[in-house]
Amino acid sequence: MNRSRSSWDKKAPQPPGTRITRSSSSQARHTDPAETYDSGPGTYGKQRKKQTDSALAQDLSQMSVSGQDGLPASTGKLSKGSSEPAQAGQSSGSRSDQCSPTTFAAKPKSRGGLASVARLVKLGRCKNVVVVAGAGISTASGIPDFRTPGTGLYANLEKYNIPYPEAIFNIDYFSNDPQPFFSLAKALYPGSHRPNYIHFFIRMLHHKGLLLRMYTQNIDGLEKVCGIPDDKLVEAHGSFATASCHLCYTPYPAAEAKHAIMNDNVPTCSFCAATVKPDVVFFGEDLPQKYFLHTKDFPKADLLIIMGTSLQIEPFASLVNTVRSTVPRLLLNRHAVGPFEKVPLRRGDHMELGDLEDTVRRFAEMLGWNDEIEELMRSQETLNIPALISSPPSVSGQTPCQSRGASEPPGRMETSKSRPGAQRGASSGSEETDSETDSKSSVSSSLSN
């Protein structure tokens, strides 16, 4: 039985109840052994901090206050296909925005949104970074996304003989005819693609001890291949790493499921004989339990980076509205999506539009991380790509008919027809922290660029 959209809304986190101050979030900082080679905030002395703080104050004075709490409690609808490229609020992304750590502190006026966020990171104001990602982070690895016109999977589905694009991930459709999904799965199974610069940038966030969690919609497994540890990763739409019966959820050896699918056979459940599928979440299915970590993570986040997603799939898309209203949100994508389609942008919202790999590379250069990322990539080049398929059914940690949200409130995957109220109560808090002041300042930069 499917739960309705509104039932999910009721289960949505209430950020004010879990508000944390900047100091408490600092205490919650995650550490990593690799932090010993951290080239981040520690390299900036008091004098530089003073300089940059005065630049923040300057930004603040230039800020257009009309952006303050500009979003109505309930944001506009984002229906399928409505995410046309938005121009307003777009930062230039021009090469002139490229700044070395030294230059952007000296020339604050030339900063774009990307540089403003880079500066916050370098100032040590972002220690609980949450990354929200979609198929756009893997197109540079040669995996098509869903919705990019021309190259996206939805534009190339004739060969699957399905009535509408989403049918390929519709559980009822699959129940009736699994072949379209199995044909697609053959192309998507992990093992033949390599993580790209964007994946390694996220891994570097972890190395620096700044990654609170990455929430990915991707099912390609490239986050794990590039070394983002399991406890830092939420694969919200599942993965090919495990498999189970689509009806009774009896686990099935993933390697056997892969073998059958790759050889055009249909794996069947040993318990009820229904079709087995990889544990990729379909429309109408519950999201994995781990997804509910978001109720703790998002209120704790001090920077949200959204990359390579059209924010069209619920409930995932609404996560971006559950950070505190003063937390900077950075969208890196080809075009504006979700709340970034609104004009004016919310205070603290930045977007850098253009090719994602190019943007992330510039971001890494601003942070002074580029060499380390390239070194990391080089060191992994010679490694074999793990297939990430586990054979024993017990690896999934799931039990039949229990795994998919029997006790916890399920989040079921839906294509976004309407956008639930943004910032449910998130702006009601009255405390203002240092990081909130930064957030205003960086918005000013965004609006004025």
Buried b (16+ CB within 10 A) or exposed e, 406-430: eeeebbbbbebeebbbbbbebbebe
* CB closer to ligand CNA, 8 vs 441: 8
* CB closer to ligand CNA, 190 vs 405: 190
Distance of CA 44 to the CA centre of its chain: 29
* CB closer to ligand CNA, 63 vs 236: 236
* CB closer to ligand CNA, 143 vs 276: 143
Bridging pattern class, strands 129-133 and 211-216: parallel
DSSP designation for 50: H
Q: Give the nearest distance from C-beta 140 to ligand CNA in angstroms.
A: 6
Helix pair 254-262, 179-188: axis angle to 10 deg: 100
Neighbours of 319 (CB within 10 A): 24
What 427-431 contacts at long range (C-beta under 8 Å, 24+ apart), as own/partner pairs, is: 427/69, 427/325, 428/16, 429/16, 429/19, 429/324, 429/325, 431/19, 431/21
Tokens representing residue 165 in the block: 């694009």
- Of residues 193, 206, 207, 237, which has the active-site annotation? 237
Give all strands of the β-sheet with 233-235 in edge-to-edge order: 233-235, 211-216, 129-133, 303-307, 329-333, 349-353
Whole-angstrom Cα distance, residue 241 to residue 114? 35
Tell which residue, 166, 163, 133, has the closest CA to residue 152: 166
- Distance from first CA to last CA of the chain, Å, rounded? 49
Cβ neighbors of 389 (< 8 A, separation 6 or more) are: 189, 190, 191, 240, 241, 254, 255, 258
Dihedral class, residue 20 (left if φ above 0, else alpha if ψ from -120 to 50, else beta) = beta
The answer to whether 199 is a known catalytic residue is no
Look at residue 214 and give its three-state secondary structure. Answer: strand
Report the greatest alpha carbon distance in the chain.
Answer: 69
Residue written as token pair 């056997």:
256
Residues that bind ligand CNA (CB under 6 A): 134-136, 138-140, 143, 145-148, 152-153, 217-220, 237, 308-310, 312-313, 333-335, 337, 355-356
| Residue 361 parent element (H or E) | helix 356-367
Whole-angstrom Cα distance, residue 359 to residue 337? 16
Q: Give the nearest distance from C-beta 441 to ligand CNA in angstroms.
A: 27
* CB closer to ligand CNA, 40 vs 338: 338
Q: Which residues does the annotation mark as catalytic?
A: 237
